[in-house]
Amino acid sequence: MSRGRYKRTSKKCLPATSTLRVTTMREPPFVIYDPNRTIQEYHNGPYTGLAVDMMQWLAQELEFTYKMSEPLDLKYGLVNDQGVGNGMVGQLMNCEADLATGALIITASRSNYIDFTRPYIEAAKALLVYNGDVATPGLWGFLNPFDLTTRLVIVASLVVVSITLAIASKISPYFRSDEQNYSEGRERSFLFWPTNSLWFFYSTAMQQGPDPIPSLSGKVLVAGWFFFCLVIVATYTANLAAFLTVKSFTTSIQSLDDLAAQTETIYGTVKDSAIVEFLKNSPLDIYQKMYTFMISTDDALVDTAQEGIERVQLKTKGDYVFIWDAPILDYVSELQPCSSQVVERPFHSQGYGLALPKGMPYYTNFSLAVLKMREAGVIERLTNKWLDADDCDSSNTITELTDVEELKLNDMVGVFIILAASVGLSFIVAVAERLWWRRKRRREVIISNPGANGEQYTVNPIFTDEN
């Protein structure tokens, strides 16, 4: 019999009479190997972690003692078509262990040979990718907050409102720089021409303070422009801050579909794991494609999860994507060297459970104890204690990164509509101002009679037909 391989025995395992032999697998944060912990200090040996704390709680609740160890082949274990099992599963089948704990997935095939308690944690699958290649903003990175179309429309808006103000200053008499010049018939001068109108609106956009606008039509236009600048500047500032502070990783794999569609980057998981079994037996084409790729590609499958994680983080054999349980990948991605990242929404959720040999009389006690832990909040407390790692930047997530995108014209169309409305309203008010002043000035005709007939008409020269 090869090392780490266990044949299915026909005899029924006998219940433990004293200390339970607990088999486990080192898998941070559920089981962490700590050589500084000695058997004299802790009866569970050099192990710590969520599953170890859970075992201590169960030992107190059910009043038993135990001793923890690992299988020789360092595998969770599967059972092949000949009924041969390995890893922790094989130990339970061969009566070499009384209980198995850790990140052990409950599967139907395993349940044919060993008994599982109720699940204590639900765990889906996820992808771990390398994120060490960071894309820098570049020379023109300050333009990233808006896409090209939006930037061009903003510049066009500046030109349009400048021309509008120049035209309005020609139409409305309130734009005249010195009303006395007109009353005396001197040369006309206007406050705004296209050139200084452009400078006026540019300076206001840069928050430099505008010159006073005497005309109501001009005030309507400028009010719309002020609101436009307020929204544009605030949006640009917020999005620019996001672009400059959030890392942008260059990975091309953003989903499970991306992974399965390419063959350049090798991906895989742990040999003889529940994931391999799931991919093999799944009727979905994408999973069948992934399984075929893994078994036909050299070095796609690894011996342990730690090996797969290190291949991603250290790139020991080039680019590699590791498929494993999401809680474990989330944990290791937040630890040094902070060069890995979990992508894609988790898929195929399964549960972690305790496992015992078939027919143990204390199976019900353990299953009910696990349920009690969940109801009493023990599992939640242990999850908060062990699964939250914060060695890396909290913004270092692919989900947050994909939310930082260029703002497109459709995202800003409302503020452009408001600006356009202010342009149109400014024209209407300018025309109304001119008509009103024409009428007002005509009423100011002064009739005097210094001559023989006593008649002399004096008309304000501002509103002659030349206007």
pLDDT digits (tens, 9 = 90+) for 19-67: 899 999 999 999 998 877 655 445 567 888 999 999 999 999 999 989 9
Q: DSSP per residue over 294-356, as a string? A: HHHSTT-SBSSHHHHHHHHHH-BTBSEEEEEEHHHHHHHHTSTT--EEEEEEEEEEEEE--EE
CB burial of 275-292 (b: ≥16 within 10 Å; e: otherwise) equals: bbbbbeeeeeeebeebbe
User: End-to-end distance of the chain based on CA atoms, in angstroms?
Assistant: 109
CA 434 to each of CA 214, 421, 445: distance values in angstroms, whole numbers, following the listed order:
14, 20, 17
* CB count in 10 Å sphere of residue 301: 17
* The pair of three-digit structure tokens given for residue 50, joined into one six-digit string: 């969520």
Which range, of 127-136, 158-167, 232-241, averages the lowest pLDDT?
Answer: 127-136
Contact between residue 6 and residue 96 where contact means Cβ atoms under 8 Å apart: yes
- Asked if pLDDT for residue 11 goes beyond 80, the answer is no
- Strand-strand pairing, 99-100 and 20-23: parallel
Which pLDDT value is given to residue 383?
A: 93
What's the mean per-residue pLDDT of the chain? 77
Secondary structure class of 448 (helix, strand, coil):
strand
β-pair partners for 84 = 7
Residues ≥6 apart with Cβ < 8 Å to 440 = none
Which pLDDT value is given to residue 199?
A: 56
Secondary structure class of 389 (helix, strand, coil):
coil
How many angstroms separate the CA atoms of 82 and 80, rounded?
5
* The pair of three-digit structure tokens given for residue 258, joined into one six-digit string: 């991306």
How many angstroms separate the CA atoms of 354 and 114, rounded?
10
How many angstroms separate the CA atoms of 24 and 55, rounded?
11
Question: How far is residue 338 CA from its own chain's centroid?
Answer: 17
Which pLDDT value is given to residue 250?
A: 52
* CB count in 10 Å sphere of residue 296: 8
Q: Higher-confidence residue: 249 or 263? A: 263
Question: How far is residue 405 CA from its own chain's centroid?
Answer: 11
- Asked if pLDDT for residue 202 goes beyond 70, the answer is no
How many angstroms separate the CA atoms of 72 and 58, rounded?
25
Q: What is the pTM of this model?
A: 0.62
Q: What is the CA radius of gyration of the chain?
A: 38
Contact between residue 270 and residue 308 where contact means Cβ atoms under 8 Å apart: yes
Instruction: Tell me the backbone φ, ψ of residue 140, rounded to 5 degrees.
Output: -105, 30
pLDDT (tens digit per residue) in 272-284: 888 998 999 999 9
Contact between residue 197 and residue 213 where contact means Cβ atoms under 8 Å apart: no
How many angstroms separate the CA atoms of 118 and 101, rounded?
12
Instruction: Tell me the backbone φ, ψ of residue 68, rounded to 5 degrees.
Output: -100, 145
- Asked if pLDDT for residue 173 goes beyond 50, the answer is yes
CA 223 to each of CA 197, 199, 346, 419, 425: distance values in angstroms, whole numbers, following the listed order:
15, 16, 49, 9, 11
Which pLDDT value is given to residue 220?
A: 75
Secondary structure class of 245 (helix, strand, coil):
helix
Question: How far is residue 453 CA from its own chain's centroid?
Answer: 90
- Asked if pLDDT for residue 467 goes beyond 50, the answer is no
Comparing CA positions, the residue from 245, 229, 258 lying closest to residue 404 is 245
* The pair of three-digit structure tokens given for residue 189, joined into one six-digit string: 């001068």
